[in-house]
Structure 1
Amino acid sequence: MSRSSRSSGEPTAVDRAIDTFRRGDPVCIHDADDREGETDIIYPATAVTPNAVSRLRNDAGGLICVAVDGEVADAFGLPFLQDVLDHPAAGDHDLTYDDRSSFSLPVNHRKTDTGITDEDRSLTIRELATAADTPEETAFASSFRTPGHVHILRGATNLLADRRGHTELGLTLAHAADQSPAVVVCEMLDDETGKAVAPEDAATYAEAQGIPFIEGAQLVERFV
């Protein structure tokens, strides 16, 4: 819906997504056809239970990552991964959709076992969200170890004004919903083609599951 819909008092798709996120429930966001062209299921990290990790594995199927604000990443001393890897493959990424990868370190919480189970990953994710609320009080290396099974993504400094990936789209939604500056993102993949789920199919899934589906452009229009 348009800005005029908001001014008339009728809730927009973005309004509904913010309300859903505020309750701790997931949303589906399609970034853009001319970017990755992917839809991610996105949760506030504080709300990720083992059942949520299971849903992401089974209904999405992509890589389960936690995106945090750049300020939080700086407080934790988290680098961009490609800046600290001493290997020829860590050079130019030649990405077709962005200037650089937002990946930082993959971690496990120190209270986990292998780190890969639904219970372990949900614990790591929730602890990251708790730490992101008070990063200055977190001794990161005392709570987390790397390598691990939860990949951290660094959000751009000015979020959507700088970059328009799912990292920034999810974090923008978290800020609007007064959630911790940490969100879980996972790409939706098609079991038959092995490619990204088509936006119309992602929207159909979202409707069947009672999950809001929004386009990245709707968040950009609202917040940039």
Structure 2
Amino acid sequence: MTLDEAITSLKRGEFVLLYDSGKRENEVDMVVAAQFVTPEHISRMRQHGGGLICIALKDSFAQSLNLQYMHNILFNSTDMDSDSKQMIMGTAPYGDHPTFSISINHRQTYTGITDGDRALTIKEMANLYNSNNAKSDFISSFATPGHVPLLLASRGLLETRQGHTEMSVYLAELAKLTPVTAICEMMDSQTYSALSVEKAMKFAKENAIPFIDGKELLEFSKVH
């Protein structure tokens, strides 16, 4: 399927499958624009994805909320001794720094983990993008630790880092949507590893979901 079809799908509040590359995680993520997320989206991500359901945020938005990468938060913490700080992951095995920040729940959730609770947290995080008082609204509306991890896209997006975090936010921007996405890795319950590209493409075809290869997206971004 083409990039245009992927953009159309995102605009309709539907999924796109996004493959990063064999040189990175070698994983396919389910991606949906956070502004459209419903409990049904979360249910489908759980059942057909099975990985971690996260919120990816554009860098400028993350900065307005004073969000930091978790590895920096831990490194600067006085509650961790120097020995414990050796645990902090600076670089993942595939060469990139992790994009994890804090994890959150919306304050109107109960446990925070149900499909309804996570959908509320994700959608309200997207709604926050248009707030005139984003930082104060963030503090008053959300609590941490919670059940939805925040991922911070690198400044410059694909120029800087070519992960699902950056690619999904870039796709949302191409679709002229709020640059906040919900993403979830696709797992394979038969092999107990990440779902292969072949199986993901078969799933995409059977369910009429656009499949985007990160390599193509990267080439597109260089041209445009």
- Same fold? TM cut 0.5: yes
Q: Is the 8 A contact 1:72 1:135 kept in 2?
A: no
1:45 aligns with 2:34: yes
How does 1:91-170 map onto structure 2 within 5 Å?
Answer: 91-134=88-131, 136-139=133-136, 140-170=138-168
Cα distance, 1:22 vs structure 2: 1.4
Aligned to 2:190: 192
Cα distance, 1:193 vs structure 2: 1.1
CA RMSD of aligned residues (A): 1.4
1:124-175 CA deviation, whole Å, 9 max, x = no partner? 0000000123364442111111000000000010000100000011001000
| Residues 94 and 163 of structure 1, relative CA distance in 2, 3 Å threshold | closer
Cα distance, 1:77 vs structure 2: 1.2
Cα distance, 1:201 vs structure 2: 0.4
1:69 aligns with 2:58: yes
1:81 aligns with 2:70: yes
Aligned to 1:181: 179
Aligned to 2:219: 221
Residues paired across the two proteins, number = 213
> Residues of 2 paired with 1:95 and 1:126: CA distance?
29
Paired AA for residue 52 in structure 2: L
Structure 2's unaligned 5+ residue stretches are none
Q: Is the 8 A contact 2:65 2:134 kept in 1?
A: no
Q: Is the 8 A contact 1:21 1:27 kept in 2?
A: yes
What TM-score do you get using the length of structure 2 for normalisation? 0.91
What TM-score do you get using the length of structure 1 for normalisation? 0.91
Taking every aligned residue pair, what percent have the same amino acid on both sides? Answer: 39
> Residues of 2 paired with 1:102 and 1:144: CA distance?
20
| Residues 178 and 196 of structure 1, relative CA distance in 2, 3 Å threshold | same
> Residues of 1 paired with 2:128 and 2:95: CA distance?
28
Paired AA for residue 109 in structure 1: H
> Residues of 2 paired with 1:134 and 1:27: CA distance?
27
Q: Is the 8 A contact 2:64 2:134 kept in 1?
A: no
Q: Is the 8 A contact 2:54 2:150 kept in 1?
A: yes
Paired AA for residue 46 in structure 2: R
1:173-198 CA deviation, whole Å, 9 max, x = no partner? 00000111100110000001111100
| Residues 94 and 170 of structure 1, relative CA distance in 2, 3 Å threshold | closer
